[in-house]
Structure 1
């Protein structure tokens, strides 16, 4: 099943009169690898955001939409723990492990805490 990233890429190809193999060539990968990424069998390489944005001269709005599609399509996320205390690492891992079991109210509270913290930093 196509991910949001896959749907974004398919529309982009159609709009530009391209085939899967044309986009794969621009990304320097095989058609089968691009297909696997679009279908969620592989994670989207982060470098692709810039490559696709530049190759297709995406507008600011389209770049934002692409980043959102990539983020939504990720199945695995790497977390850089460098410089974090053991306590912070444990808190992050506990959140990741327990998140699925939280009710929507608790998820919303956590999201609001994080968004408010980000706003204070910005």
Structure 2
């Protein structure tokens, strides 16, 4: 099943008269790899936001839509903990362990804290 990222890419290909293979060639990957990413079987590579934006000369609003589709389509996330103290590392690990058991109110509380702490935060 296509992810939000997959739907974005499919529309982009249609708008540019391209096939999956054409986009895969531009991204320097195989068609099967691009298909796996679009179908949520693999994570979207971290550099594809800028690469696709540049290759297709996306507008700022299209770039935001692409970024959101990538974030929503991610299967996993790597967190860089180099340079963090043990207390911060423990916080990150506790959040990862307990997230699935948090109720919606607690998630909203955390979301509000994080969005409020980021300058120009967004949902």
Q: TM-score, normalised by structure 2?
A: 0.94
1:57 maps to what in 2? 57
Greater share of helix: 1
Q: Name the counterpart of 1:28.
A: 28
Deviation for aligned residue 1:119: 3.2
Gaps of 5+ in 2: none
After superposition, the C-alpha distances for 1:45-83 in whole angstroms (9 at most, x for unaligned) are 111111111111100000011011111111110101011
Match of 2:75 in 1: 75
Q: Secondary structure at the match of 1:57?
A: coil
Q: TM-score under structure 1 normalisation? A: 0.95
Aligned to 2:92: 92
Q: Which runs of 4+ in 1 moved over 6 A?
A: none
Aligned to 1:111: 111
